Every structure is written in structure tokens, then in C-alpha cells.
Amino acid sequence: MQSSRIIIIMGPVLLWLATAGCGAAGGSEAGNPTRTLNGSVGLKSTGSGCEADQVITTNAANETLSATVASDCTFTLSVKSNRVYRLDLLSANTHIGSLETDPGPGRFPSPVVHVMGADTSLDLGELRITDGIATPSKEPAKQEDADDDGVNNFADADDDADGVADGDEEDCDLDGILDDFDLDTATCGGKVGNIRVFEVLPRSGEGSGGLRAKAKLTQPIRVRLSCRVALASVTATTFQVAPADDPASGLSCLLAVDASDKEIRCDHAGMAPTTLYRASLDGVQCEDGTTAPTTSWTWMTRDS
């Protein structure tokens, strides 16, 4: 099963936008006002009927709320403000898609929608489902202004005006829910000084439990660190991806570091279906010689 790993470090070849992005925000509304979250789904390609018949939100406490999709394919939910929600679409009780939002430049796609304390409804527009990912035609971050400074969350470099840039907000368990909103930070990994892992893809725990979408087999494995990494330290030894129960059958990664030198990416020929994978970072060094925190996380792949 194991083939020799081919590792090519490509330096700053892949150019990604690396400007500060938008992240979470707290709210200062009194109490916990509710807010209308609405949107629509498309028609089935086979003819009449909507792609989904049920929408379910899940908050950070794993509490769910569901709404039936109306005959015109729209849905409306009333959710508590100042929280984050996963949103999943079902058809005939089968999971067909999970919402993925764009929090802003320089950040990985987010598995949650941030619902802040505004009075207006939050309109996701039409959710377009491709490969199990439901992309809103109206990005929620562009409709939110958590710190009321006139700059929407998408464009604001520090959504919650706490002095921590959005791209530097912590998600210590790497599940895609920032610490500001996460109720379960007990499983957080370590950090070394100020060096930390900010984000990973697939997210930690992706596809494990509940309605959560599983990782696409072709999903590149990505890690965004707080420091510029020393290219020579990114190797098949220091960055490994393999089935959790078969570490010897590692993916052959084409490893690359982006233009910011802070993101490491593994492109590969495809992961095995229905398999729990683990990625581990152990011994990657920053340019200043500091060793990045030893980090590992797991996710489940799709059935095909």
C-alpha cells in the first residue's frame, strides 16, 4: 500500500491572498435577542420540488433547531444572536449539504455562520450545493458589523475590535469555531511561546459525529501558522498525513508553502474513502529557529 513519498518543496510558488481577514466578534446586545436567519435552496435538477426539505442549525453547545423548507424553497429560522451556527441541509432525512461561509481574505472557508446582534434579518440568499458544500449567494460576513464601526465583518481586519486581528484570533482546538464562541476548548493543543497553529483544513473533527459533512477525498491538507516557516524544515517527516489506524500508509504529499510563508499545503492524489485520517506537525521550524507546536488532528473522509 505504501508507496515512496515524493516531496517537493516549492517555496513561495502558490500565491494566496494573505491580508488580514475577518473573524469572530462578540456582541454587546442586552440579553440574547433572537434574529431571523433566512435563505433558500434550489429546485431539484430532476424537475419539481426543492433540493432540500429541511434545514438544521447546530450551535456551539450542539443544540439543534430545524425548519421545514417551504414549497417555494425558502426557509426561515429564529436563532439567538451573538453565536455561531453550523447549518445543514437534508432531503428525505438524508444529509445533502453543509453551509460553508467566507469569513474574509486570508482565512480558510468557515464551517459556521456568525449571527451577531443586529436587528435586521440575516439573509443567506440561495444556498448552492456542490459536493456537499452549501455556498450562500449572500455572504453573511458582508451583512454583519459586529463592532458597529461602519466596516462589515468581511472587510474589517478586527471584527470585534479587541486588538487581535481576525486572522490571529485563536481556534485552539482547530475545529473552525473560534475560541470567542467555542464552548469546548478542553482539547486544545499546546503552543510554544507566541507560535501557534491558527487554522487547518480539513477542520479537526470534520465528518465525525452528527450531521457534519465529511472531508472530500481530494481536499488538500492545509495548515496556517502564526510564524513564517523555514522551508527546509517542512518535510515528509515533519508533516505527515495518514489513516489514523495505519500510519505507515501515509499520503504522498506534494508539499508547498504559500507566498506568506505561513501556510503549508499538502496536495495529494486522493485519500481513501470512509477513513479516519490524522495529520501531524512535528518539528516544523519557524524562520527564527523556534519549533512550531507539535500538533495533530483527525477527520473522516467521505464514502466516495
Binding to Ca ion by residue 20, rule CB under 5 A?
no
Binding to Ca ion by residue 147, rule CB under 5 A?
yes
Binding to Ca ion by residue 206, rule CB under 5 A?
no
Choose the binding region for Ca ion from 13-21, 121-129, 167-175, 227-235 (rule: CB under 5 A): 167-175
CA atoms in the 13 A half-sphere facing the CB of 225: 30
Minimum CB distance to Ca ion, residue 160 (Å): 5
Amino acid sitting at position 56 = I
Q: Which is nearer to Ca ion, 118 or 151 (CB)?
A: 151
Of 53, 100, 182, 199, the one binding Ca ion (CB under 5 A) is 182
Among 209, 218, 213, smallest CA distance to 98 is for 213
Binding to Ca ion by residue 180, rule CB under 5 A?
yes
- Residues contacting Ca ion: total by CB under 5 A: 15
> Residues with Cβ < 8 Å from 148, sequence gap 6 or more?
none
Instruction: Calculate the alpha carbon distances from 250 to 6, 93, 239, 263 in Å.
Output: 11, 35, 10, 20
Choose the binding region for Ca ion from 13-21, 105-113, 147-155, 191-199 (rule: CB under 5 A): 147-155
Q: Which is nearer to Ca ion, 131 or 148 (CB)?
A: 148
Of 10, 164, 188, 259, the one binding Ca ion (CB under 5 A) is 164
Amino acid sitting at position 14 = L
Cell of 85: 451556527
118, with CB counted inside 10 A (0-12, 13-18, 19+), is middle
Binding to Ca ion by residue 100, rule CB under 5 A?
no
Binding to Ca ion by residue 145, rule CB under 5 A?
yes
Minimum CB distance to Ca ion, residue 104 (Å): 11
Minimum CB distance to Ca ion, residue 180 (Å): 5
> How far apart are the C-alpha atoms of 46 and 100, rounded to whole Å?
25
Minimum CB distance to Ca ion, residue 270 (Å): 28
Choose the binding region for Ca ion from 65-73, 96-104, 157-165, 281-289 (rule: CB under 5 A): 157-165
Of 139, 171, 199, 261, the one binding Ca ion (CB under 5 A) is 171
Of 139, 175, 258, 267, the one binding Ca ion (CB under 5 A) is 175
**Residue 126's beta-bridge partner residues?**
40
Minimum CB distance to Ca ion, residue 234 (Å): 25
Residue numbers of the site for Ca ion (CB under 5 A)?
A: 145, 147, 149, 151, 156, 158, 160, 162, 164, 171, 173, 175, 177, 180, 182
